[in-house]
Chain A
């Protein structure tokens, strides 16, 4: 018992004395199958997963809304310039479009 190797060998011999059996695993699994008491399925992880999934969808919707607003704002500015409308008209058109888009996307989310 003086060297590391001795301990190593003795531990291996001790481990060999504790045999592993297929029957043991089967026995445990059979008892588990027959048992009426089961572990509670992880509701926390499921809720968390569902929340993250929903959050992912929400984020995508918000991103889509932002892109839609920016696109329509750009289109409005371009249109205003083309028809020679004044700045006030352009600003009002943009605000109206923003409200419309957010309402539309908000409706989709809800």
Chain B
């Protein structure tokens, strides 16, 4: 899922400074699971904005609304009654949700309330880690289901490097060496021979090369 983190209140206050009627829009998708932009966080953000405004000698009015997903037009229609009449929207969804609102509601000023941070998952209550870099050319089949692109600090294809010590990465002792994890996993699976094959340089054309990526399924188009 997409992991996001709340922006500092001061930054949001600067963005919405010229406006008085604000809609704080949440999303019940990924950002609700990572406790950054669900219904509760919308309530907290709206309250924080009201408190911060009051402290700075200005009164703002807030509306709160959380929809199932901000990244799909069908669900975005539910925001229509909330958006009408407000000066600006603070979206607590990921960057996709913010852009989807901007596309659908052309008159609305939309501001991000969170920083979209990475693709990951919770490893324990309150802890999320990056797992995927969305490189567009998945290698998990040859690395025992552990991604060297996202989880190796150097994104090595033929690791480990000399900085792997005791299963930890030289970049930070809290980071597990992805290539140690890959080795251990392949050993458990009895597939260590997969490491004998030298991987050629990765084809990055499927990643951020060449501009916006797009997938078209002709069979699904209407």
A binds B: no
Binding site for B on A (CB under 8 A): none
